[in-house]
C-alpha cells in the first residue's frame, strides 16, 4: 500500500513532463518569401514555409491585398509538405502588400497569420479618404483568412493540453485519495 503512495507522485511528474513538449509541438510559420517587412522587386509568388507539414486535403488560403485594397493572388495556393506557394498576379504595382494566410496543420489544428511586405518603386500618392479609412486590410480580408497575428496560431490548442493535464492530475489525485481511505489488510 505504501509503495503505491510513493509511486503516484512519480507517475504524475512523468505524465506532466511527457505532456509538456507535446503541447508546444504545433505547426507554425517558420519563414516567408517575401519576408515580413521586406522591400522587394515585384514577386511572382508568396512562399510560406512551416515547421511541419500542412494538411493538403484542406486547401490552404492565402490572400495578398495591395495598397489599393484589391486582391493580387492568381489561382489557389498549393501545399507541398511544409511549403505553401501562392502565385501572384502578373505585375504588382509599388506599395505595401498584406498577406493573410490560413492553413490546417497535419494534426487538424487550423492556424493563421498576417504579415506585410513592400514592392519597391514609387507608390501612387494616397488620398485623404484612404488615410482615414478604418484598417482597409482588415475590411478586405475574407472570412477564410481571419485577422490576427501569428500569436493566434497556438493559443487554442495549447489550452486543450492544459485542460487534459488538469483532468489527468485530478483523476490521479482522486485515485490516491481512494487508496488512502481503504482500510489496510493485515
Nearest to 24 by CA among 157, 169, 163, 166: 157
Give CA separation, 116 vs 15, 65, 152, 164, in Å.
41, 9, 17, 36
Strand runs (DSSP E) across 27-109, as ranges?
A: 29-33, 39-40, 45-50, 61-65, 78-80, 83-87, 95-104
pTM, 2 dp: 0.57
Tens place of pLDDT per residue across the chain (186 aa): 555 566 556 656 655 555 544 444 578 999 999 999 999 999 999 999 999 999 989 999 999 999 999 999 999 999 999 999 999 988 899 999 999 999 999 889 999 999 999 999 865 554 444 433 333 233 333 333 433 434 344 444 444 455 556 667 777 777 667 666 766 666
Give CA separation, 60 vs 8, 25, 52, 101, 144, in Å.
45, 20, 14, 8, 10
Contact 44, 64 (CB under 8 A): no
Amino acid at each position: 500500500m505504501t509503495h503505491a503512495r510513493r509511486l503516484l507522485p512519480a507517475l504524475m511528474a512523468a505524465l506532466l513532463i511527457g505532456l509538456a513538449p507535446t503541447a508546444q509541438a504545433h505547426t507554425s510559420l517558420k519563414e516567408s518569401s517575401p519576408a515580413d517587412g521586406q522591400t522587394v522587386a515585384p514577386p511572382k509568388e508568396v512562399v510560406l514555409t512551416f515547421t511541419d507539414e500542412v494538411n493538403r486535403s484542406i486547401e490552404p488560403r492565402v490572400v495578398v491585398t495591395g495598397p489599393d485594397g484589391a486582391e493580387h493572388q492568381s489561382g489557389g495556393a498549393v501545399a507541398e509538405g511544409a511549403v505553401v506557394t501562392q502565385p501572384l498576379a502578373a505585375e504588382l504595382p509599388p506599395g505595401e502588400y498584406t498577406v493573410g494566410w490560413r492553413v490546417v496543420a497535419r494534426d487538424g489544428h487550423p492556424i493563421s497569420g498576417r504579415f506585410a511586405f513592400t514592392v519597391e518603386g514609387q507608390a501612387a500618392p494616397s488620398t485623404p479618404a484612404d488615410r482615414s479609412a478604418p484598417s482597409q486590410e482588415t475590411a478586405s480580408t475574407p472570412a477564410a483568412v481571419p485577422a490576427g497575428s501569428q500569436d493566434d496560431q497556438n493559443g487554442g490548442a495549447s489550452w486543450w493540453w492544459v485542460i487534459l493535464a488538469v483532468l489527468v492530475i485530478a483523476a490521479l489525485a482522486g485515485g490516491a485519495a481512494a487508496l488512502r481511505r481503504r482500510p489496510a489488510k493485515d
